[in-house]
Amino acid sequence: MEERLAKLNNLRKTNDPYKRRFEKTHYVKDLVSKFSKLGKGQRRANFRTAISGRIRSVRKHGGLIFSDLEDFSGRIQLIIEEKTVGGKRFEFFGGMINTGDLIGAKGFVVRTKRGELSVWVKDFELLTKSVRPLPKEWFGLKDKELRYRKRYIDLIINPDVRKVFDTRSKIVNAMREFLMKKGFVEVDTPIIQPIYGGAAARPFESKLHALDMKVYMRISNELYLKRLIVGGYEKIFEFSTDFRNEGIDRLHNPEFTQMETMWAYANYKDNMHFCEEIISYVAKRVIGKTKIVYQGEVIDLKPPWKRTSLLEAVKKHTKVNFVDKNFEGAKRAAKKLGIDISKCDSWGEVVIKVFEDKVQSKLIQPTIVHDYPIEAAGLAKIKKDDPRLVESFEPVINGWELGLSYSEENDPERLKAYWKEAEKRFRKGDEEAQRLDEDFIHALEYGMPPTSGIGIGIDRLTMLLTDSPSIRDVILFPFMRPEEK
């Protein structure tokens, strides 16, 4: 850094080392495509190009300097000849340009006798001086935590990382394309909310000083989407960044993205088919196939997916039938399975814990797991044949829940009764209990048609389609504990 800072101080005396603009005519990939058939030793002296990017290497050989320039689309060699640019400019490049510097170069395209496509530089301009050296390329950037914490270095040193985020962008675009073809309208709902709702989670709190009131970062956009259904929309969706004040691990980040729909006059069974359809469509559109390999496991996303009720799945994998058991019986059965149920306060919570601990991880191939206990989705319609269960499902792939769907409860009295019970749990210390939203009750009293929505986790779907082992690999800036000074 001392060497680079000395160069920077010298540059400031005669030049501006931080330029304002450069007229770029081509990206590297444009040149690679246009001159793919250029033969060894050939040049196109009549073709002029202006490219810009970061210098990745500088190699001096007598009256020639070979340098690699990289932009977002690829890397190409620059050839700086002393006779062409002049002695002073040649010495400037050799003495003042470091790896990491951003430059603009003008010239024509050649292919060397060794077959490397290059730009023969007629003129160049230092655009930005890099004063902090990059990690050595032959060592790379291997420290995972440093890669997540300083993603900008990760992207410079490991350009393949960009492919993951390019794929993430394609996933979002393909999903949006599918939804719009199906007649869905994209909407935006509030991120800062006066009362949080739509899920059981602990929120992040803040204060709106202008109104001297407590506000919350949304844990879900669900209740606002339903308000729009009340208002007359029938098919809507939103890519929603949500925030939950909970644990961090390979599948969870406090800030995450999901795509959520609301579909009037549909129920959760309609969304089962819809879920298979949209995920398989995205896979085909983005990676060209529905059969993927995740961490060595072959997973086939092609519909139809296997379907099973949660209770059937538990019975199959534990040999225990919880259907006819009461709360006490369910607790005894769970303890025999070696499951800690100390925090379970109901039959449904016990069943969910058994499923999560003993069953879910075994569901590798795409599976629609339906009819969860009411504790898993309190805003869903209760099943007529068993009031302990609700009309809900989760798509489970590779042992992960990838989303959630249910038939939305639109009876204001039933929903109000549920929320009042949730308020009691909140006052007893359950920080994840849902809160009573009086305005939403008022909306339902105007009448919401039969409706079903589905939320699909964009981060986890990206993990699957890019074979990424951690959610931190698919979020550009995952949350990290502050560095200790």
pLDDT digits (tens, 9 = 90+) for 365-384: 999 999 999 999 999 999 99
Q: Averaged over 451-477, what is the pLDDT?
A: 97
Q: What is the pLDDT of residue 138?
A: 44
- Taking every pair of Cα atoms in the chain, the longest distance, rounded to a whole number of angstroms, is 90
Which conformational region is residue 366 in: left (phi greater than 0), alpha (psi within -120 to 50 degrees), or beta?
A: beta
pLDDT, tens digit, 9 for 90 and up, residues 224-241: 999 999 999 999 999 999
- Share of residues in the chain with pLDDT > 70 (%): 99
- Kindly tell me if the per-residue pLDDT of 137 is higher than 90: no
**pTM, to two decimals:** 0.92
pLDDT, tens digit, 9 for 90 and up, residues 304-338: 999 999 999 999 999 999 999 999 999 999 999 99
The CATH 3.30.930.10 portion of the chain extends over: 161-305+365-473
Instruction: Identify the band that residue 178 occupies on the pLDDT scale cut at 50, 70 and 90.
Output: very high
Contacts of 393 (CB under 8 A, 6+ apart): 268, 271, 272, 275, 368, 369, 370, 371, 372, 404, 405, 406
Question: What is the CATH superfamily name and number for domain 161-305+365-473?
Answer: Bira Bifunctional Protein; Domain 2 (3.30.930.10)
The CATH 2.40.50.140 portion of the chain extends over: 2-134
Q: What is the pLDDT of residue 98?
A: 95
Buried b (16+ CB within 10 A) or exposed e, 281-307: bbbeebbeebebebeeeebebeeebee
Question: What is the CATH superfamily name and number for domain 2-134?
Answer: Nucleic acid-binding proteins (2.40.50.140)
CA 310 from chain centre, in angstroms, equals 28
